[in-house]
Structure 1
Amino acid sequence: MAYFTYVYPRRQTFIQKINSVRKHHHVTPINRRLLQIICGFFAGLFIAYVILKHRRSFNSTCRRTSSIGQFKENVNGFGDSNSEDIAENDVEDITHVKKDSEQRKSINRSLLFVGVMTAQKYLETRAAAVYDTWGKEIPGKIAFFSSGVSVKPINAPHLPLVPLKGVDDSYPPQKKSFLMLQYMWEHFGNKYEWFLRADDDVYIRADKIETFLRSINSSKPHFIGQAGRGNQEEFGLLSLEYDENFCMGGPGIILSRETLKKIAPHVKNCLQNLYTTHEDVELGRCVQRFARIPCTWSYEMQSIFYHNFSGSFAFTGNLKTKEVHRAITLHPIKQHKHMYRVHHYMQGLKIHDLQQRKISLYRDLRLMEELRRLHPEFSINKDVLPADNYYSNLFREANLFGMQPDLNKYHPRNEDDVFTWDLISRSIYSNMNLNPRRKIEAYLREGLDDVIREVMDNINLFSRERGRVIEFQQILYGYYRLNPLYGPDYILDVLLTFKKYRGKKMTVPVRRHAYLQQQFTGLEVREIFESTEVNAKNLTEEIITNSRKTYSTEIQLKNVYFDIAKSSSDNEVVKNEISRKLINMVLPLSGKLEAFSRFMKTYEEVCLKQNENVLLFIILFLKNNSDMVYDKTLKIINNLRSRYLVKRSIKIISLEEKFARAKALDYGMKQVNANDLLFFIDVDMVWTTDTLQRIRLNTVLGKMVYFPIVFSEFDPTIVYRSHISPNHFLINEENGYWRIFGFGIMSTYKADINKIGGFDTSITGWGKEDVDLFEKFVLSKNLSILRSADPSLIHIFHIVDCDSSLDLNRLNMCHNTRTETYGSVYQLANLIYSIKTNIFQFARSKIHQADLINR
């Protein structure tokens, strides 16, 4: 059998040998059958050799032709390469990468080129959103690859678009993907170290991807992404060997220059040998075949290249999760508006990092200043610093904000200056709050989540090198206090889980104490008048002065506010234009002579005497009101008209109907033009000129509506033992409360309220019309809502009358409002203790009676 080893160089030699065997040897039937099997084996071996030799010759031909861009044939739908059709100048215009022959020869290449696959129907939405957000921050260049007939959208004329000739927007985009990679290599192969293939629904953190790529040797072949082998239904059906995988396309795929160099010449071959309809699977197969490397086999890639399996609901909820914070790429973001939302959140994280960096620099400056005092011979020459107020106060700021973390760095001067600790468990317990045991507020819970996440990130920073990871489980208990000068302090008892995955594996619960401090970085003001930003001065110097006294800070803020408005003549002009803007005030009225008289006195003092540009519409309901009430109402109005000659500034609209606030506001809205400013108010309100200015500043046509949070007074008979408050504008916990859930007082433009459908005039009786309107604004796509406490907008106390004919929901709302306005918890408790009757025994008897009835 040894002589059969040389039979396959030529077919003639093989046949001659067979004939020689038949001629010189006796062949039995068994030998003949064995000989046929052997002949068939070597014949198949010969055919395989011929095919392999032909394929190698074909591949070498493809390699030579693709290197000079001479794909002219169209095989199996593979169109012509557009590398010759797009001139070099066009490439410069599309990608803003200048032609530089010297740069092609240089080894100093730029870091990253990103190719985004998109389609014509997504250019003005997803593609534009990508280019407006992370696309402009990547450490390199970006281009968008679409069908050959694609054109730039009107809303993004500068979008770097590359129409691929012979490619359509059909799915799956296999042809588009491979031609994009070929285009990237032919035009930018010598200019970049890394190449990223991305979809138009992925968000990429530019800062993190730069740090990640600079830690890897780009001169070696790399194929980086989240490795996959198909889902459960596809497993075993993708023609993958046991040791083969692919990089999932959605979260993004990164190729080093060496990898792209090896696969780009074989793009045509890869397209001619497709086994599935999955573009990323075929790309992985092509890389495996010609670059001889798989996708990164690493569990860590699932968190770095993060894919959310929630579909269209991905990244629409809370973004403060460890998955979002750890990821370099986030996929999928199906709605382009959510791309802006994610980007804004990431920008906030960058601001947070810069603030932390600022604190570190303050601490370095403080340390330098301490060393200077110890060694005067090494003192800093202040003359080298620019002559600017910021630099002159730099060391003073560092002395305040550059203190090292320490729970004892604040030293109270007396007992009143001591900041007490609150106990945190399932609830929060405090002796400084009227409600000593209450639910943990949302802001504190969010702050705790941020602190815990940052602490755990720092603990696990080197977990990979140490072969262990520590996971957070829960806060068992803790203490919290807020120092308005330095920031919040935490003492937390936390339950952790220690997991060792290298060497002897183990999982152990661990309990630890954490002493944490969040440092404030100073106060800055950024003021905007009608989309025009005013150059606001840094307030650090003012805040440092008397910083231990809260009222001093408020005075400084107030003074700086007026300084900002006067900072330049241009800003003064803008401010004056806003202050002259007409406010159309709409007041529903039915009876309430005493309250109306007080309202008109406020209108006289604030608007008429101050010559404010305000027009008052009084919607007067006549039904259920006597003629005497109507006459006295007109008398109050005519008295003001005669004294100030302002007949046109106060208009009355009489309705022979039963009172309905929604209908009244709708009537008032119909009296003005589309672009007029409206302010809906109640007769029980008092206000100042500051309120009018806030209305003008905080209400922007087509952009923002203003729902101020008013301060509501408690019953003065409980607070002051009097029928009227001596000072309506005295704001504290004993005098009243902020009506957070009240939406009746608001300002908007008529055009904006028409966009959302206006008022529901079918609503009658107490409440609900304001909540209905607020919910419509919440659902609007183009309008934002501003909610802010207004200390100059006061709701005067009055007994709330709840109509028993109201539906159960509104009746409960009415009763709750009536209950809240009686007094503070502290005042009501003192009232109960002052009653000589055993009210507790009475309450227990009522509860016992109710239990018997329920049984």
Structure 2
Amino acid sequence: MRRREKLITDVLVFVISIFAGIQITTSICYTFFHQHFMKCPNVTSNTQNQNIAKVPIEPFIEELGDFQFNPGPKKKLVLVGVMTSSQYFDTRDWAIRMTWLKSIPGDVVFFVGNSTDPAPPGMPLIRLNRVPDNVYPPQGKVFEMLKYLHENHADKYEYFIRADDDAFIKGQELGSLLKSLNSEEKIYMGHYGQGVPGEIGKLGMGKDYWFCIGGPGVIFSHRALTALAPNLDTCKDNTFTSHEDTELGRCVEKYLKIKCKSNRKVRAIFYQNYREVKGTFSHELGKKESHAFTLHPVKNSSFVIRLALHFKDDEIKWLKRKADSLRNELEMVKRGMASKQLERLSMPMMKYLHNIEYFNRKHEPKKASVKFWYDTGDDTAQWEHIEMESIYSMANIHQAPKQKLSVKKHDETVQNAVRALLNHYWEGVDNIKFKKFLRAYRYMSPIQGVQHLLQVYLLQRKTENGYYNGTFMASQRLLPLKFTEEVDLFKRHFDINTKYNNSNGGGQMKEINLIMPIAGKLEAFVRFTETLEKIFKRTLENLKVILVIYKDPEGAWVKQIAMMKRLASQYPSMKLEVTLLTGDFARGVALQHGMKNCSNDSLLLFIDIDMAITETFLHQVRVNTIYGKQVYFPIYFSQFDPESICYKPNCKNNHYLFGKDDGFWRYFSFGMVSIYKKDFLEVGGYDTKIEGWGKEDIDFYELCLRSNLTAIRAPDLSLIHIYHPKFCSHDLNDEQYKMCLDSKSGIFGSRHQEARAVYRLPEILNK
């Protein structure tokens, strides 16, 4: 009996277990497989060898959140499809959503492959289930995306753009371009190409066929997409290469019979950055980037932010110019200016101009002439002439009249300034357009004012002779002087850094590594030591003095080390490091030795022993030297021989006098410089092959100009070159020897003092 009861119990438990298993399996299948569009096995079937049937995978899954496509019936301008991968959700895709997505005059949606990784909230996403997500090139992804766009939205948008997730798009400019086109035409537009040099002619398309490169973006009109869509599967199944843009181009060539709609101007609009394949756009941004509508590649999301800020800055500048234009036009209307041309004149300084004339050389009467205020009795007036890359000026008597414009991107700066000055002036006037700046003259008189004469190259469309030169004159008379407050600027300038002030507004000042090469010159060293002592008495300066001393036979180096050690022992905030060298003096070699023990983020100041400095100069070094961005080349004041002023030896000389007879600003010298060590090394450093005096500073300055660093040049009242007799060794090479002689002759005295000396010597004057 007990056995029978046990058997019945076991059977019941077995049956209940089977039914429980069926129920659990069905629940799991419904919950998991249903979400992935697969049919569950029919576990309740009585068939023993049942086949597991699957529903075909849905090709597209939309995860749109609050986003809505254009509901119609009126078409929106553009739908941008961004091809991406789930690994870039939080980097490239985030940067796009934070920047250019908001500027698109239409909609933007992201496409990934069959990834199941969750997308960030608020990101409109289409999952293309039939293609892998992380395969490159994304050939299948392109065809599937275009197929989705056609099947779901072909009649809701005028244009469709296939874009990479490492592209940057300017929405406003893109909108202007699309509105100028006709979406009823078959348009296939982008940055045209034929493949890399080794692939040209081997891509399965016509020899002269140009396809649109995918990176910077490809535009399809709705008509082109509609005509292409029925053939997408065929093209996808019959590829010749693994490239997605090449195969898309082959498909367009075969079925639409059109090429990439492009020319050189359009190619520049869809900008492909060939010089930085890794895609950082870390170089200095210029007119090519400003002119472009799309830029590719930008693989680092931080540089997407940089581009967005740069173009926003461009937009702000344009708006400010527009505001100035409107403000000036309003001012002119208030003043009752009736001249039609002057009403169109758009110059920020317009309210200060009293006389503006235009001379059209093509139609100008013979008697017309350009009149300056030139007064032969005004010896304070100065002339300057700017042409191409040179400026002709006598403002600095220690330079040749012709000088290269020592400004980075000088030509572009001048051209943009003149274009901003004149472009609006010609708007609507006989189809005349400013083409480029040719030359300019400036007459500047402290008594009369300033006059500019600009000669520009103009284009006049729809005329037999479509170009000619135009000459403009702008005059500004100076207003009477008004004094509202008298301030001792000199005193304020030199009191900038006290014991209680610092450059960081509360924290410790950045340490400056002052590196000085020395060979003898004990008297000058004593003077520099006294200068440092004055600074440390007045401030808690954070300064490390690095001396690179060449041993001299007289033993001056021993005294120099002793003096500096004494100073370091008196002032705890001063650090000292000494490096001893032997052999012939070479400034570049010495400076390179001096920085060896400094870390890469150290602020370096290269200086010579004949300089007089103040704490203000050290403050300027900290302010004007920026890690990774900026290097400071101060323009210092160089003293004349004091005997040319007082005509007797051992003149008492005030170092901080800046008159014409006291000295001159040394625009042509680049030896004093402050820079971070990492920037110094990346630029290339000093040429250590140069021996003796000079040239290494000029070579280094030119390296900085060619780098991505901004070189700051400005006169500094707190940096003085103390006069000392100069000796030029015959052992120098010809170029160095000439430079040394030029420098030596330039410090004898001012032109006026030398003239006075000659007039006092009849034996010379009467020759």
TM range (shorter): 0.5 to 0.7
Residue 187 (structure 2) pairs with residue 223 (structure 1): yes
Q: Deviations over 1:117-142 (max 9, x none)?
A: 57899999998998887566544565
Match of 2:50 in 1: none
Cα displacement (A) at 1:441: 3.1
> Which residue type is aligned with residue 800 of structure 1?
K
The alpha carbon displacement at 1:793 in A equals 1.4
* CA-CA distance at 1:829 after TM superposition: 6.9
For residues 705 and 428 of structure 1, the distance between their equivalents in structure 2, rounded to whole angstroms, comes to 24
Query: Aligned match of 2:317 in 352, 376, 379?
Result: 352
| CA contact 1:488–1:518 (8 Å) conserved in 2 | yes
- The 5 Å alignment of 1:117-516 reads 137-139=103-105, 142=108, 166-167=131-132, 174-184=139-149, 194-198=159-163, 204-215=169-180, 220=184, 223=187, 225=189, 249=214, 252-257=217-222, 259-260=224-225, 263-264=228-229, 266-272=231-237, 283=248, 302=266, 305=269, 328-329=293-294, 346-347=311-312, 349-363=314-328, 366=331, 403=351, 407=355, 422-423=384-385, 434=397, 437-439=401-403, 441=405, 445-451=411-417, 453=419, 472=435, 475=438, 478-480=440-442, 490-494=452-456, 500=462, 508=465, 510-515=467-472
Tell me if structure 1 keeps the 8 A contact 2:356–2:473.
no
Q: Do the aligned residues in 1 keep the contact of 2:515 with 2:604 (CA within 8 Å)? A: yes
2:730 alignment partner, one of 795, 804, 819: 804
Q: How far apart are residue 796 of structure 1 and its match?
A: 1.4
Matched with 1:105 is 71
2:656 to 707, 720, 729: 729
Task: Check conservation: 2:511, 2:544, Cα contact below 8 A.
Answer: yes
Q: Deviations over 1:809-834 (max 9, x none)?
A: 54454444434444556666776787
What is the alpha-carbon distance in structure 1 between the residues aligned to residue 228 and residue 717 of structure 2? Answer: 68
TM superposition score normalised by structure 2: 0.65
TM-superposed CA distance for 1:598, in Å, is 1.9
SS at match of 1:255: strand
* Contact 1:227/1:245 (8 A) holds in 2: no
Counterpart amino acid of residue 618 in structure 2: L
Q: Distance in 2 between matches of 1:250 and 1:309?
A: 10
Gaps of 5+ in 2: 1-35, 40-54, 337-345, 358-371
Contact 2:663 2:750 in 1 (8 A): yes
Is contact 1:618-1:650 (8 Å) kept? Answer: no
- Encode CA deviations 1:342-373: one digit per residue, 9 max, x unaligned: 777655543431221120242255368769xx
SS at match of 2:319: helix
Alpha-carbon spacing, 1:251–1:616, altered in 2? closer, same or farther (3 Å): closer
For 1:655, the equivalent position in structure 2 comes to 580
Cα shift at 1:185: 5.2
By percentage of residues, which structure has more helix? 1
SS in 2 for 1:105: coil
CA deviation string 1:446-477 (max 9, x = no partner): 454225655896699789xx9x89784873x6
Q: Secondary structure at the match of 2:472?
A: strand
**Separation of aligned partners in 2, 1:597 and 1:750:** 28
Name the amino acid aligned to 1:805.
Answer: D
1:610 paired to 2:539 = yes
Residue of structure 2 equivalent to 1:686: 612
Q: Secondary structure at the match of 1:608?
A: helix
Structure 1 residue 726, shift from structure 2 partner: 3.6
In the alignment, is residue 623 of structure 1 matched against residue 552 of structure 2? yes
1:790 equivalent in structure 2: 716
Give the whole-Å Cα distance in 1 for the aligned partners of 2:151 and 2:562.
87
Q: Is the 8 A contact 2:62 2:126 kept in 1?
A: no
For 1:122 and 1:825, how far apart are their aligned partners in 2? 67
RCO comparison, higher one (Cα < 8 Å, 6+) = 2
For 1:579 and 1:345, how far apart are their aligned partners in 2? 32
What letter is aligned with 2:672?
I
Alignment match of 1:745 (pick from 672, 682, 688): 672
Match status 1:594 vs 2:520: no
What SS does the aligned partner of 2:453 have?
strand
Q: Which residue number in structure 2 is paired with residue 850 of structure 1?
A: none
Question: What are the Cα deviations for residues 49-96 of structure 1, in whole angstroms up to 9, with x where unaligned?
Answer: xxxxxxxxxxxxxxxxxxxx9999xxxxxxx999756451xx55xxxx
Report the CA distance between 1:113 and its aligned residue. 3.6
Partner of residue 571 from structure 2, selected from 638, 643, 646:
646
Q: How does 1:751-762 map to 2 (within 5 A)?
A: none
Percent identity among equivalent residues?
31
In structure 2, do the counterparts of structure 1 residues 277 and 193 end up closer, same or farther at CA, with 3 Å as the change threshold?
Answer: same
Q: Describe the superposition over 1:221-247 as per-residue Cα deviations: whole angstroms up to 9, x where unpaired.
A: 6625269797999899977799x9865
CA contact (8 A) 2:544 2:577 kept: no
Counterparts in 2 of 1:499 and 1:650: CA distance versus 1, 3 Å: closer
Name the CA distance, whole Å, in 2 between partners of 1:211 and 1:808. 60
Provide the C-alpha distance between the structure 2 equivalents of 1:706 and 1:245, rounded to a whole number of angstroms: 48
State how far apart, in whole Å, the 1-side matches of 2:305 and 2:758 are: 54
> How many pairs align?
676
Query: What SS is found at the alignment partner of 2:744?
Result: helix
**How big is each residue's C-alpha offset from its partner over 1:398-422, in whole Å with a ceiling of 9 and x where there is no partner?**
999562876359x99x997997664
Q: Which residue of 1 aligns with 2:23?
A: none
| Deviation (angstroms), 1:795 | 1.6
Q: Give yes or no for the alignment of 1:711 onto 2:637.
A: yes
Displacement of 1:479 in angstroms is 3.2
Output the amino acid matched with 2:351: M
User: How far apart, in 1, do the equivalents of 2:350 and 2:56 lie?
Assistant: 60
Residues of 2 paired with 1:346 and 1:518: CA distance? 34
Q: Give 1:403's aligned amino acid.
A: K
Matches of 2:61 and 2:453, distance apart in 1:
64
Q: Distance in 2 between matches of 1:624 and 1:185?
A: 88
Preserved contact between residue 498 and residue 507 of structure 1 (Cα < 8 Å): no
- Give a deviation string over 1:521-563, Cα, whole Å, max 9, x none: xxxxxxxxxxxxxxxxxxxxxxxxx99769989969999999x
Instruction: Determine the structure 1 residue equivalent to 2:52.
Output: none
Q: In the alignment, is the contact (CA less than 8 A) between 2:579 and 2:594 conserved in 1?
A: no
Q: Write out aligned runs for 1:88-99 (5 A).
A: 88=63, 91-92=64-65, 98-99=66-67
Asked whether the equivalents of residues 670 and 698 of structure 2 are also in contact (C-alpha less than 8 Å), the reply is yes
* Shift in Å, 1:691: 1.4
8 Å CA contact 1:704–1:784 kept in 2: the answer is yes
Q: Indicate yes or no: 2:505 matched with 1:576.
A: yes
Distance (Å, rounded) in 2 between the aligned partners of 1:174 and 1:587: 61
Please give the alpha-carbon distance, in whole angstroms, between the structure 2 residues aligned to 1:711 and 1:688.
Answer: 13
Aligned counterparts of 1:430 and 1:327: Cα–Cα separation in 2: 37
Unpaired segments ≥5 residues, structure 1: 1-68, 73-79, 93-97, 372-397, 501-505, 520-545, 566-570, 842-855
**Alpha-carbon distance between aligned partners in 2 of 1:578 and 1:735, rounded to the nearest angstrom:** 39
Matched residues in 2 for 1:141 and 1:235: separation?
37
After TM superposition, give the deviation of residue 186 of structure 1 in Å: 6.3
Residues 791-850 of structure 1: CA deviation (Å, up to 9, x unaligned): 211121223333333445544544444344445566667767877677999xxxxxxxxx
Question: How do 1:543-582 residues align onto structure 2 when only pairs under 5 Å count?
Answer: 575-578=504-507, 580-582=509-511
Structure 1 residues 696-705 or 585-594, which shifts more?
696-705
